Amino acid sequence: MKKYKGLAGAKGHKMGKAVVKPAQECAVSRSKIEDADEEIRRFKEVQSAYSEELLKLFETTKEELGQDAAEIFKAYRMIANDDYFFQNAFRKVKEERINIDYAIEQEKQKTCAMFAGMEDTYMRERGMDIENVCNELIARLKGIAVGQERFAPETEPFIVVAQDLTPADTVRLDKKYLRGFVTEKGGVTSHAVILAKTLGIPAVVGACGVTDEIENGASLYINGTEGYVVCEPDEALIKQYELEKEAMDRLADHYAKMAKKEARTLDGRRISVCVNAGDADSMEEFDAESCDGVGLFRTEFLYMDERDYPSEDRQFDVYREVLSKAAGKEVIIRTLDIGGDKQLDYMDLPKEENPFLGYRAIRLCLDRKEVFKTQLRALLRASVYGRLKIMFPMIVTLEELREAKALLEEAKAELKEEGRAYAPKIPTGIMVETPAAVLLSDKLAREADFFSIGTNDLIQYTTASDRMNEKVQYLYTPQNLSVLRAIRLVIENGHKAHIPVGMCGEAASDERLVPVLLGLGLDEFSMVPPQVGKVKSMICRMNHKEMEALAQTVLSLDTVKEVEETLGKLSFAEREGEADAALPRE
Ligand code: PEP
Ligand code: MG
């Protein structure tokens, strides 16, 4: 038995036999060529075939695993088709008469060294994307067959052990018996981890030495919650796993049942539990029986999927579909939250020093009124197909809310004049995701019909810690008292003005936070669908009055550590009762 430590990528624990992915050796050497144009033509042929392959991978993955998991192939395709990136290589081929694969290899090394030196994990991982795309192109130029065969066709549970897994590798894996990933490279936001989360299996990344030391067929235990893997576990560990597995299966069944129930506390307070959705496709799996509606529909995907601004009619079609699929439940559609770090070529946005503090979301929409108006008109036209609520992102002043509402009224007047229908009453609310909105929440509450707290941004703006920077993750936590105080103030001010207050940031399904949020009076919790059963189950076992007292205690504490300790004691597993005492604390 040997234990390998790594980083916790995706939660959970499983056992299976190791399938070690061999490192693909693809040495590239320099050679002289005769005809530079012919060499570049050869590359273009390979480039176009690879681009087609990626398009197919995108489509298959979208079908099998949904839009989010498929997005990476779109990104790869953009890199593969980026002639600007390959320009230097072309120049070298022409000037030095060298083979194109060697020229690309050199370009790749230069670019990857630059990305590897970056502080930001996210950017380092984008460097790995460029490396992967270049490697795939080089392998094809060298005539090495790639990407065709199904990787690891297994008939029993297996865990993949690899240096790194490219998105193409992960697609080629047979998912039926796949139980987890262990990689030497990659960070906690790598694609293997994202895929593992989508599939609900554990992943451990950054586990040094695993590919050299673990043999194909070895028995493995992977713990993605704590970030380690054990090769040839002993009897005691296997027994412990069996117990955990039984408890986990029971818990999964329990959550599936709970998802169908309404969320009501023991003392009778009805809480709304909604889902977050990102595109019309994600509504395919929308289960009206398992939630109280859509608490956040992000419209960015609609814009990112297009080569130019989506027309009013195109948007109308999507919004109508979303509202119809919601089958009479409320749907909060958020207006465009783009700009800053989320760039769109056709928008021609300026490069910014501090994208998160820049030209984005409502700021951009109020500046580019024609873009905003198109979206508002499409939303209004769709409103007759369901129960629409419109939400504006990144509000920091009352003027912004007033101006956005005035534009909505203008759009209504236009439609009326054109004889087009829209719903008579469409509540209009805001995301509270900036400290400015928190501090103005008393005033904003008088002019908004609802609030939705966006903790993903609120935490980073309140604690001045970038949500993508691993060095400051210790500050980026909803257990920071400044964040909890901000949440309390927003709920209090919302309720004073008699408007509902929800939360659509990740903290809404954070099991440490749910009891406090309930105690603070949050009316609506919105989250990714797989979390609904867990949160409803927690709410149904809580007493609202007790949680109010708990929230008071927590907010009177001094440090993050004290908050963590207090909330840690309220572990979900303990509340499950004796039968599930063996449940792991995740
Ligand atoms: C948030 O900031 O909490 C939020 C839900 O918005 P996004 O994650 O899209 O920025
Ligand atoms: Mg946000």
Q: Does the annotation count 504 as an active-site position?
A: yes
pLDDT at 577 over 60: no
Mean pLDDT over each residue of the chain, to the nearest integer? 87
Return the DSSP state at 249: H
- Listed residue (313, 310, 311) closest to 302, CA to CA: 310
Q: For the stretch 360-394, what's the b/e string if a residue is b when 16 or more beta carbons lie within 10 angstroms of its beta carbon? A: bbbbbbeebeebbbbbbbbbbbbbebbbbbbbbbb
pLDDT at 342 over 90: no
Percentage of the chain beyond pLDDT 70 is 90
DSSP for 17-60 reads: EEEEPPP--------B-S-HHHHHHHHHHHHHHHHHHHHHHHHH
CA of 431 to the centre of ligand 2 (A): 8
Q: Of ligand 1's atoms, which has the minimum distance to the CA of residue 393?
A: 6
In this structure, what are the phi and psi dihedrals at residue 97, rounded to the nearest 5 degrees? 55, 50
CA of 298 to the centre of ligand 1 (A): 9
| Spatial separation of the C-alpha atoms in residues 229 and 403, rounded to whole Å | 55
Give the three-state DSSP class for 88. Answer: helix
Pocket of ligand 1 (CB under 6 A): 296, 298, 337, 433, 454-457, 504-505
Q: What is the 3-state secondary structure (H, E, C) of 253-299?
A: HHHHHHHCCCEECCCCCEEEEEEEECCCHHHCCCCHHHCCEEEEEEC
pLDDT at 387 over 80: yes
More confident residue, 228 or 139: 228
Return the DSSP state at 182: E
Most confidently modeled of 102-111, 249-258, 350-359, 392-401? 392-401
| Spatial separation of the C-alpha atoms in residues 490 and 429, rounded to whole Å | 13
pLDDT at 257 over 80: yes
Residue nearest to atom 6 of ligand 1 (CA): 454
Residue nearest to atom 9 of ligand 1 (CA): 298
pLDDT at 244 over 90: no
Strand pairing class (330-334; 387-392)? parallel
Tell me: the pLDDT tens digits for 5-59? 988 888 888 999 999 887 665 678 888 888 999 999 999 999 998 888 888 888 8
In this structure, what are the phi and psi dihedrals at residue 562, rounded to the nearest 5 degrees? -60, -40
Q: Does the annotation count 13 as an active-site position?
A: no
Tell me: the pLDDT tens digits for 273-285? 999 887 556 677 7
Q: What angle do CA 205, 211, 216 make, to 5 degrees?
A: 115
Q: Of ligand 1's atoms, which has the minimum distance to the CA of residue 337?
A: 9
Which one of the ligands is nearest to 459 CA? 1
What is the reported pLDDT for 262?
96
Collect all residues with Cβ–Cβ distance below 8 Å to 417 and sequence separation of at least 6.
none
pLDDT at 578 over 50: no
Tell me: the pLDDT tens digits for 166-216? 766 776 677 778 899 999 876 665 667 767 876 778 999 888 889 999 998
- Tell me which residues have their CB within 5 A of the ion that is ligand 2: 433, 454, 457
The pTM is what? Answer: 0.68
574 pLDDT tier (thresholds 50, 70, 90):
very low
pLDDT at 576 over 60: no
Among 134, 291, 365, 504, the active-site one is 504
Q: Of ligand 1's atoms, which has the minimum distance to the CA of residue 300?
A: 9
Percentage of the chain beyond pLDDT 90 is 52
530 pLDDT tier (thresholds 50, 70, 90):
confident
pLDDT at 303 over 70: yes
Ligand 1 mutation pick, 294, 298, 342, 434, max ligand atoms within 8 A of CB: 298
Q: Of ligand 1's atoms, which has the minimum distance to the CA of residue 457?
A: 2
CA of 478 to the centre of ligand 2 (A): 14
What is the reported pLDDT for 569?
86
Mean pLDDT of 402-430: 97
Tell me: the pLDDT tens digits for 434-485? 999 999 999 999 999 999 999 989 999 999 988 766 678 788 889 999 999 9
Among 134, 191, 274, 365, the active-site one is 191
CA of 454 to the centre of ligand 1 (A): 5
CA of 96 to the centre of ligand 1 (A): 49
Tell me: the pLDDT tens digits for 119-169? 666 777 778 788 888 888 888 888 765 554 445 556 789 999 998 877 667
Residue carrying structure tokens 């109508």: 320
